[in-house]
Amino acid sequence: QNTTGFGKGKLHHLCRYDSKKRRHEDLGVLAVKNPDFFDFNPANGKKPPWSHGYHTLPDGTMTPLHNHMALVATRDNTLYATIIYPFTLLKIDAYRQEPPAPAEKYLKSTHQHLNQK
């Protein structure tokens, strides 16, 4: 439950577990960067059906209102989460790691090979 006084719905935080420290780290509230991805208020004034899965906080930030239904982490730390109403795939790339440059990979491989001898 949201007890912050900042909005009325739930605030969904992205968290991760650090196995070395044996504790969770709160990475903050999920926020939609492109809130115009869906027309929540069409010209006819009728709210579209199944469009109640997001809410806007007092500062204008749009966040998921209900639980996400699926979450997957990719090899580069990009996260994808689904929200049901309206069905949305959220891409969370704030923690994405850039792949190493080819030269960096080559040097690392060479260094590892030299250390084996």
What's the total number of domains in the chain? Answer: 1
- What is the percent of the chain with per-residue pLDDT over 90, rounded to a whole number? 33
- The answer, yes or no, to whether residue 80 has pLDDT greater than 70, is yes
Residue 82 lies in a domain: yes
Higher local confidence (pLDDT), 32 or 98:
32
Domain containing residue 95: 13-116
pLDDT band at 6 (very low <50, low <70, confident <90, very high): low
**Is the omega angle on the peptide bond into residue 86 within 30 degrees of 0, that is, cis?**
yes
| Element of type H or E holding 57 | none
- For residues 67, 71, 33 and 27, what is the CA-based torsion angle, rounded to 10 degrees? 90
Give the helix ranges, DSSP H, for 43-101.
Answer: none
Residue 6 lies in a domain: no
Residue 7 lies in a domain: no
